[in-house]
Every structure is written in structure tokens, then in C-alpha cells.
A and B are shown apart, each in its own frame.
Chain A
Amino acid sequence: MDNKELILRIKELSISYRSSGSSFWGSKEEIVAVNDVSLTVRRGKTFAIVGESGSGKTSIAMSILGFVKPVSGTVEFNGMNLFSLEADKRRKTMRLIQPVFQDANSALNPRMTVETSLADSIDTPDQLQKREQTNSLLRSVGLSSDHMGKYPHQLSGGQKQRLCIARALAPEPELLILDEPVSAQDLSIQAQILSLLLEIKKAKNITYLLISHDLNVVRILADRVAVMRSGILVEEASCEKFFSDPTHPYSQELLENSGIK
């Protein structure tokens, strides 16, 4: 595969956490969350990581974003190892990878208005340009300038998630990490957010790394699917292959449990 076609390459990534000490002397137990996982994500495609809670899929996302330090392995973005970049270069590079979190309530600063939240994500000193971009971002996610002065608690669940998506789009990212982007929403809002994500992908050709346990969402958005179980990647396949002919028994079990197969 051509290197330019690859946006993200994860090599032999292992992540573990230390539990708080249970003995009197506080000796800590090591919990392996991700064990030697390797995968590649192609530019402009949607790569989904599925698996039950605790399978390690969010740990991978947090590691890409730099919030979790891996025990070993590398994460390459556009050919650059994210773990060996200097602080300044890393900060600039990381603006190209933006997260959309599951819970929009905790993803928005309760003390900031919609306008301030978005203005903070736009990197220009020109206030007029900032305001225009803020307006344009709001429109791109189906919100209007009427929402500018509102605080998060004055928005509905769907509006909050739209705002989170707008904020993630502000630095014009190349990769969006969608961590369970619709699971906290009700069904009608889920459909709206999914259709918004499809529209954005089509318009901006952004790559999505989708973290989800909801296979219906995966079927709508994903091009490739990786299945994780207890920190191990057990299967990786194209979306059609995964849904029509999964090879690993755990993948078959997941599909059966979700009522798809």
C-alpha cells in the first residue's frame, strides 16, 4: 500500500494500567488493556474498532490522542511517530487529529458559550474572521447563529453533540476519532448525527476512526472493521466481509447478540 494512502499506522501497541493497591503496602496490580495491537487506517476511509466494554478500544483512541502512555509500540500519523515528536511539533500535528466523545455533556465546558467554545478552536488572531468561521462551522452542523450566546445546559443532547462535532472540525482535521458518537443519544437524534457524519465525510474527505459497540452504527459508517476482545485484536476485515462472513467465533457471537445475524 502507498504510504500516502495511509494516514494512521499502529504498530505492536500495548497499554496497561495499574490498579490502586489492594494490600496494606499498596502493591499494584497491572491490568493489560491493549496487547500487541497493529492496524492501519487508509486516508478518507472509516475504520471501526468494535468490541464489548473493557476490550481496549477506547484505550487505543486515548493513546493516539496522547492521553494514555503505551507500554510499547508506536503510532504513526502521516508517517510521523506521534510519541517521538517534540512538544511544539506534536501540538501542531495533534490539531489534525480531533476527538468526538460519547458524552457531549462532559465534552463541553459548562462555563463557555457556544461562540467561545468554537472561537477557542479556531487558530486565527483576526476576530472578524474568527466570527465568520464560527458562523460557518455552526451552519455546517445544522446549528444557527442564534445558538452563539447559549451555554451547554441551554442546548438539547443532539445540539450538544453537533457542537462537539463543529468544534472538532474547526482546526480542519484529517482524522476524527469518534468514540461512541451516538450511543448517548436517543434513536431519532442518532439518525440525525449519523447522517451529519456521513455528509461531513463526503464533503471534507476526512478519515474516521470509529470506536463503537453498536454494530448498526458500524454498518452505516464503516469501510473496515477490527474486532477487539480483552485487549487483543481478533479479526480485521472489510465491512461487507465482516457482516456477511465473519471468521472469528467472537465476531460471530457479537453479530448474533446484536441481532444482525
Chain B
Amino acid sequence: MNAFKNLISQLWKSPSGRIGLILVALFSLLALGAPLLSPYDPIKQNLLLKSSPPSISHLFGTDLFGRDILSRLLYGARVSMGIGLGSAFLAVFLGSAVGLSAGFLRGGIDTFLMRIVDLLLGFPKFFILLLVVGLGSPSIWLTATVLGALSWMEIARVVRGEVVLIREMNYVKAATALGLSPMNIAMRYVLPNVSGSIIVSATLLVGTMILVEASLSYLGFGVQPPDASWGTIMNQGRIDPLGTWWISASAGSAIFLSLIGFNLLGDSLRDVLDPRTENSQS
């Protein structure tokens, strides 16, 4: 808990870290508090109010079916950020496991795993994503799983590269000479020293995943109406982008600000968690 407090205070010292923290915390709170904060039911239609511009009663206006956009954005944050966090978690878990195994064990296992990574990186990811999500019945879980399963390779490469360097450090040799088991060395001597890179990659990946989910939903392959995600809200705005500008603008701003938040947080974490940086977090 103390380490977490230290981390937050280190992040707070830089303007970019502060902005990143505020934005991520704000969007997380809005997503979690959606049922309490939403002024209207996000899926209840009111055709009398369809395509109303922003007003006092509907701060962000209404969509083509008269649904309150603010309420849909708040509920959409749950879906978009849930998919972003869930898929990033899966990708980080798979990427870290593969990268750690390849870099620590080396030899044939390293070659085998890295060739698989090379092979998968050569696949057209977005096409496979559209295919799998399109063939199955689109749902939040399927989207998050497929996104995560197709995004771990870059993390595996980053982790493997760091592990190869760290396993040659003398403290790993000293631990080996002390007779500690390879599993103990991998989990307590190697993994904690690549955790900085993993956390940074994860943070940056959440932003990317939110964007990919929005793109999928925009194309109609992600979350299906009447459920809201930022991508589906943007999709509605494309029918009359000038006449109903507030629909795309509000969802686009949410995506933009959350991306900025996660990217700034990721960059600041990279600085704070790097042991070579002054005032870094141990």
C-alpha cells in the first residue's frame, strides 16, 4: 500500500503524470458510477426528442432515437473501458508468460516461441478480428477475448528482450549459485525487474484497445445496439455528421480524452518505474 502511495506521489510530480492520472481516474469513476450519474435510461427511446442538440435537460443532446447521449456515454464508458482493460489484461498475461518463458529458458523453447510470435505478427490482425467477431455472435466478452488473444505478441517481444538482458545480470547468477530454483529466480529476481515495462505496455495497450473496440463497434462488429459503447455512439453520428455533430463529437471526445489519459499515464509510469531515472520508484 505504501509502494502504491509512493507511486501515485511520484506520478503527481510531473504535469503529464498528473493529467494522465486525473483523466484515467475520472473516466474510471464515471464508468463505475454510471447507474448513479446517468440522468436517463441509456436505452430508452423517446422519438419525440430524436436528434435534439445539447440543452439543459440533455447536456450532450440526444441520438437518432431520442436517447440521452450523456447517459449512453456513461454506460458506454463501462463497455469501452471494460473491453480495453479486459483485453489488455489478457494480452499482458499471455505476452508476459510467453516472453518470460522464452527469455529465461532460451534455447529451443525460445526459438520455438519467438517464431510463433513472428508468424502471428505477420497475420492481418484487424481482418482476423473482423472475421472472428463477425462469425460469432458479437458480445463484450468475445470482443475482449479476441482483442486480447491477438495483441499479446508485441508484449511477448518486449518482455523477452528485457528478460534476456536481466538473466545475464550478476544478481541472477548469484541467486543461481545460491541454489534457488529456476522458478523462484524467474518469479522473484527476473519478473519484478521487467514489471516496469509490463505495466507501461499494459497502460498504453488499454488506450489502443479502446480505440480498436471503437473502430469495431463503429463498423458494426462490436457491441450491438441498443447497448452503448463509444464506438456504437460514433456510428450513429456518421448518418448526418453535420446535422447531428454532437453525437460524434461527444463520443469522439470521450475516446480522445481517455486515450490521452492512458498514454500520458503510460509515459509517466515509464519514467517513474525506470530504476535509472532519478526519483524513480524502487
Taking Cβ atoms with an 8 Å cutoff, the residues of A that contact B are 65-67, 91-92, 94-95, 97-99, 101, 103, 106-112, 120-121, 123, 151, 153, 164, 167-168, 170-171
- CB distance B175 to A111 under 8 Å? no
- Asked whether any CB of chain A lies closer than 8 Å to the CB of B48, the reply is no
* Contact A94 to B173, CB < 8 A, known contacts A109-B189, A111-B193, A153-B282: no
Bound Cα distance A170, B174 (Å): 12
Instruction: Please choose the segment from B20-28, B103-111, B176-184 that sits at the chain A interface, where 4 or more of its residues have CB less than 8 A away.
Output: B176-184
Bound Cα distance A254, B74 (Å): 76
B residues 169-207 with Cβ under 8 Å of A?
169-171, 173-180, 188-189, 192-193
Give, as a whole number of angstroms, the nearest-CB distance from B195 to chain A: 8
With a CB–CB cut-off of 8 A, which chain B residues contact A168?
Answer: 174
Bound Cα distance A110, B189 (Å): 9
Bound Cα distance A123, B179 (Å): 10
| Contact of A151 (CB < 8 Å), options: B171, B188, B282 | B282
| Contact of A111 (CB < 8 Å), options: B170, B178, B192 | B192
- CB distance B175 to A95 under 8 Å? no
Question: 28 interchain pairs (CB within 8 A)?
Answer: A65-B173, A66-B176, A92-B179, A94-B177, A95-B177, A98-B174, A98-B177, A98-B178, A99-B173, A101-B170, A101-B174, A106-B169, A106-B171, A107-B169, A107-B170, A107-B171, A108-B171, A109-B189, A109-B192, A110-B275, A110-B282, A120-B178, A120-B180, A120-B188, A151-B282, A153-B275, A171-B178, A171-B179
Bound Cα distance A103, B177 (Å): 16
Give, as a whole number of angstroms, the nearest-CB distance from A110 to chain B: 5
With a CB–CB cut-off of 8 A, which chain A residues contact B178?
Answer: 95, 98, 120-121, 167, 170-171
Bound Cα distance A108, B189 (Å): 10
Give, as a whole number of angstroms, the nearest-CB distance from B126 to chain A: 34
| Contact of B177 (CB < 8 Å), options: A65, A106, A110 | A65
Bound Cα distance A71, B179 (Å): 24
Bound Cα distance A167, B178 (Å): 9
Taking Cβ atoms with an 8 Å cutoff, the residues of B that contact A are 169-171, 173-180, 188-189, 192-193, 275, 282
Bound Cα distance A94, B282 (Å): 31
A113, closest chain B residue (CB): B282
B180, closest chain A residue (CB): A120
* Contact A67 to B179, CB < 8 A, known contacts A109-B189, A110-B275, A151-B282: no
Give, as a whole number of angstroms, the nearest-CB distance from A27 to chain B: 19
| Contact of A120 (CB < 8 Å), options: B170, B175, B192 | B175
A103, closest chain B residue (CB): B170
Bound Cα distance A120, B174 (Å): 11
A91, closest chain B residue (CB): B179
- CB distance B282 to A99 under 8 Å? no
With a CB–CB cut-off of 8 A, which chain A residues contact B282?
Answer: 110-111, 151, 153
A98, closest chain B residue (CB): B177
With a CB–CB cut-off of 8 A, which chain B residues contact A106?
Answer: 169-171
Bound Cα distance A110, B195 (Å): 12
- CB distance A97 to B177 under 8 Å? yes
Bound Cα distance A106, B188 (Å): 16
Give the 6 A-B CB pairs with smallest separation, nearest first: A107-B170, A91-B179, A111-B192, A101-B170, A109-B171, A106-B170
With a CB–CB cut-off of 8 A, which chain A residues contact B193?
Answer: 109-111
- CB distance A167 to B174 under 8 Å? yes
- CB distance A94 to B179 under 8 Å? yes
Bound Cα distance A123, B171 (Å): 18
Best-surrounded residue of A91, A109, A120 (most CB of chain B within 10 A): A109
Give, as a whole number of angstroms, the nearest-CB distance from A26 to chain B: 14
Given contact pairs A101-B174, A106-B170, A107-B169, a sample of 5 additional A-B residue pairs in the complex whose CB atoms are under 8 Å apart: A98-B177, A101-B170, A107-B174, A111-B282, A120-B188
